[in-house]
């Protein structure tokens, strides 16, 4: 895992700029760093790299990496798990290599095959590949967006980086808020690709590459090389269920095996949920269990603690288990650290325990396997079940739905993780909307219904007709398959822009590489082609994955109630964090710039303090945004 950055500028740029941009990524690669700076085609070109050494720890794998002619230069972040297979083909084609790294295979693979190589890559990656003679820079990102890549350009500059903070060091970048992206952030709680919260800076979408040509005039184009395909394969209609479960286990085990390639110690994140537990279960069939290091966190608050389940799995497979118990005050101490390092705002509060787990794990290993992607592939999230019931009661007359909402609002607010009152109120507020908008209204802190109260009168007039949900208008062939449609939405939005951003930032803040076996391209494509009845059946989520693991894990793990990586945020906002939140809102940049109605801050804080409403999501979403604006001195 590493950090990459670079630019092409017509204007004169000092060579120190690429060093400064690279320096901002030190946490992503503390083991080594390198830069390239040269004038090419009357343009000043810079490439930077920070290295977290995983494969081939020698200087032969240092980056930016040059071919022997020094015409081609690569800066690469990630891992290519099938690089040995590509290496065999390149050896046959006459290439020879000085290192044992996947970086060198990627470099010469791009020279030999060009962008066609992307279809062959199985891994997580973001890279920049410079062809000096052609005056062309290629940037690309992996299929699910496990590795980040921002970019921007104007008439004189093109620049890119793994994180926004690196771009802020380029003289052409003037950090100014994008009002359209701001509205989307409030409704989604994260920055939705291809936009970022900064004007004129974008995210390269997952499964895309872009080519920037600067030989004569500046020319830029993007192209998609892969997208999730959830149209079911008819072949599964004739396969016995037992055969399908066998294939799932076989492909997942192969994926785990590929991700064990490393020249540094590897461990496993273990929450005790089905996805993370599947990894040591299958890994135990590949290697000695005493060599498997597993890591988990426990919490003193019972409704947030899963440690007993993680300990059970570790005991069953005899792993070298490492466990840490945290209390609220421990987690609170992480918040300023995370905000200080966060390059883009995200209101997923589970980044706090993810950061804590990454910090704890990094003391023992450099690489960890995690269960991310299982919920998106196998329909595991609560809303899949909520849609099932919502479809059953859509016929309810409006007056009856209004009555239910009024009664739900009378239920006392609970501080427990995913409490019953929170679920009921969230469920009712999403009814009567189109499928994917309903899903997002359940997930998001705000909806378009909140705009009039949330925004100032002037800003409201600017955005009141905005369709914040237009990005969910996917052209899905099976309109009546709501499970597949929602799964596709998760794979194209929530997974790359929330879950994988959270995991990438929380782990890289601690210089830890996290790999996701569920997102192996061969495994994911296989699961995506399964008919929805194998993922959601008679209110059972992850049906086929649970059936497959019945021979590997106890029922108490497979069929236990799903619980996210939660924290006592509702309580914190009323007690320990109240003064900090109030002070931040009092000095609000968004209110002072005429975007947010300052009375709205007082309203949501008072409602939360008096337990009239559980406003944890809107308060936290706004707080993270305000702190990010202040920290990075963003113009509103």
pTM of the model: 0.94
Mean pLDDT of the chain: 92
Q: How many domains are contained in the chain?
A: 3
84 and 120 assigned to the same domain: yes
Q: Which helix (H) or strand (E) holds 258?
A: helix 241-258
Q: Is residue 400 part of a domain?
A: no
Find the CATH number of the domain harbouring 194. 3.60.20.10
Q: How far is CA 540 from CA 254, 514, 534, in A?
A: 26, 29, 10
**pLDDT of res. 421:** 73
**pLDDT of res. 129:** 98
Strand 367-369 to strand 266-269: parallel, antiparallel, or no bridges (unpaired)?
parallel
219 and 359 assigned to the same domain: no
> pLDDT tens digits, residue range 162-207?
999 999 999 999 999 999 999 999 999 999 999 999 999 999 999 9
251 and 341 assigned to the same domain: yes
- Geometric angle at alpha carbon 383, from 379 and 389, rounded to 5°: 105
Final residue belonging to a domain, choices 224, 247, 270 = 224
> pLDDT tens digits, residue range 402-440?
887 878 777 887 766 666 777 887 888 888 899 999 999
Share of the chain above pLDDT 90, in %: 78
Instruction: Tell me the β-bridge partners of 310.
Output: none
173 and 215 assigned to the same domain: yes
Structure tokens at 485: 């449609």
Structure tokens at 31: 């083991």
Nearest partner of 230 among 479, 500, 493, 441, judged by Cα = 479
Q: Is residue 284 part of a domain?
A: yes
Q: Is residue 627 part of a domain?
A: yes
263 and 318 assigned to the same domain: yes
Nearest partner of 513 among 84, 147, 120, 81, judged by Cα = 147
Q: Which helix (H) or strand (E) holds 66?
A: strand 65-66
**pLDDT of res. 418:** 63
- Geometric angle at alpha carbon 503, from 248 and 532, rounded to 5°: 35
Final residue belonging to a domain, choices 172, 196, 224 = 224
Mapping DSSP onto H, E and C, the string for 165-189 reads HHHCCCCCCCCEECHHHHHHHHHHC
Final residue belonging to a domain, choices 535, 559, 583 = 559
267 and 202 assigned to the same domain: no
Q: Is residue 107 part of a domain?
A: yes
507 and 611 assigned to the same domain: no
100 and 6 assigned to the same domain: yes
48 and 128 assigned to the same domain: yes
Q: Is residue 202 part of a domain?
A: yes
Distance, in Å, from the CA atom of 539 to the CA atom of 430, rounded to the nearest integer, reads 19
**pLDDT of res. 303:** 64
**Calculated CA dihedral for residues 506, 511, 512, 513, nearest 10 degrees:** 100
Contact 86, 122 (CB under 8 A): no
Q: Is residue 357 part of a domain?
A: yes
Find the CATH number of the domain harbouring 338. 3.40.50.620
**431's torsion region: left (phi>0), alpha (psi -120 to 50) or beta?**
beta
3-state DSSP assignment of residue 362: helix
Q: Is residue 399 part of a domain?
A: no
Contact 471, 492 (CB under 8 A): no
202 and 254 assigned to the same domain: no
185 and 331 assigned to the same domain: no
Residues of the chain with pLDDT under 70: 1, 302-303, 415-419, 477, 563-565
Which domain, by its residues, includes 506?
Answer: 234-379+493-559
3-state DSSP assignment of residue 601: helix
Q: How far is CA 72 from CA 10, 365, 628, in A?
A: 20, 33, 37
67 and 214 assigned to the same domain: yes
Q: Name the DSSP class of 369.
A: E
Q: Name the DSSP class of 492.
A: I
Q: Is residue 442 part of a domain?
A: no
């Amino acid at each position: 895992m590493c950090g990459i950055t670079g630019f092409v500028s017509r204007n004169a740029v000092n060579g120190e700029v690429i060093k400064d941009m690279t320096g901002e990524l030190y946490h992503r690669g503390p083991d080594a760093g390198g830069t390239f700076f040269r004038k090419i085609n009357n343009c000043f070109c810079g490439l930077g790299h920070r290295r977290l050494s995983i494969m081939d720890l020698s200087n032969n794998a240092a980056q930016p990496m040059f071919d022997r002619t020094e015409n081609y230069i690569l800066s690469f972040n990630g891992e290519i798990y099938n690089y040995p297979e590509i290496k065999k083909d390149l050896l046959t084609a006459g290439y020879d290599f000085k290192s044992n790294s996947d970086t060198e295979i990627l470099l010469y693979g791009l020279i030999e095959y060009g962008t066609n190589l992307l279809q062959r890559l199985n891994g997580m990656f973001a890279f920049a590949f410079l062809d000096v003679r052609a005056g062309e820079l290629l940037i690309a990102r992996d299929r699910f967006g496990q590795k980040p890549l921002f970019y921007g350009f104007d008439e004189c500059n093109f620049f890119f980086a793994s994180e926004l903070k690196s771009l802020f060091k380029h003289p052409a970048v003037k950090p100014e808020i994008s009002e359209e992206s701001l509205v989307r952030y409030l409704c989604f709680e994260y920055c939705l690709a291809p936009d970022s919260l900064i004007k004129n800076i974008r995210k390269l979408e997952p499964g895309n590459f872009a080519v920037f040509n600067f030989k004569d005039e500046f020319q830029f184009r993007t192209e998609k090389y892969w997208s999730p395909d959830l149209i079911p394969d008819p072949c599964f209609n004739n396969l016995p269920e037992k055969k399908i479960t066998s294939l799932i286990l076989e492909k997942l085990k192969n994926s785990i095996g590929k991700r064990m390639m490393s020249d540094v110690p590897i461990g496993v994140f273990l929450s005790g949920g089905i996805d993370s537990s599947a990894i040591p279960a299958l890994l135990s069939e590949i290697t000695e269990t005493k060599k498997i290091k597993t890591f988990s966190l426990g919490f003193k608050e019972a409704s947030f603690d899963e440690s007993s389940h993680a300990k059970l799995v570790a005991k069953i497979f005899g792993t070298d288990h490492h466990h840490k118990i945290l209390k609220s005050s421990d987690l609170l101490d992480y918040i300023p650290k995370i905000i200080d390092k966060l390059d883009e705002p995200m209101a997923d509060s589970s980044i706090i325990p993810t950061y804590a787990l990454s910090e704890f794990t990094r003391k023992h290993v450099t690489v960890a396997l995690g269960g991310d992607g299982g919920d998106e592939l196998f329909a595991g999230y609560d809303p899949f079940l909520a849609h099932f019931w919502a479809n059953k009661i859509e016929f309810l007359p409006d007056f009856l739905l209004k009555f239910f909402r009024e009664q739900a609002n009378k239920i006392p607010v609970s501080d427990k993780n995913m409490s019953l009152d929170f679920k009921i109120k969230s469920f009712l507020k999403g009814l009567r909307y189109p499928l994917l908008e309903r899903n997002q209204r359940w997930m998001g802190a705000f909806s378009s219904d909140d705009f009039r109260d949330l925004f100032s009168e002037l800003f409201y007039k600017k955005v009141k007709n905005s369709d914040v949900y237009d990005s969910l208008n996917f052209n899905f062939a099976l309109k009546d398959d709501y499970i597949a449609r929602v799964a596709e939405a998760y794979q194209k939005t929530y997974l790359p822009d929330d879950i994988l951003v959270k995991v990438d930032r929380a782990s890289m803040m601690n210089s830890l590489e996290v790999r996701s076996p569920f997102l192996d391209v061969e495994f994911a494509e296989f699961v995506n082609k399964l008919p929805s009845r194998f993922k959601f059946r008679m209110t059972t989520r992850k049906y086929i994955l649970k059936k497959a693991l019945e021979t590997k894990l106890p029922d108490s793990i497979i069929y236990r109630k799903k619980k996210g990586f939660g924290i006592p945020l509702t309580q914190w906002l009323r007690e320990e964090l109240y003064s900090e939140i109030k002070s931040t809102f009092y000095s609000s940049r968004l209110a002072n710039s005429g975007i947010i109605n300052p009375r709205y801050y007082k309203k949501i804080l008072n409602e939360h303090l008096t337990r009239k409403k559980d406003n944890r999501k809107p308060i936290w979403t706004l707080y993270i945004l305000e702190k990010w604006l202040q920290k990075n001195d963003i113009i509103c």
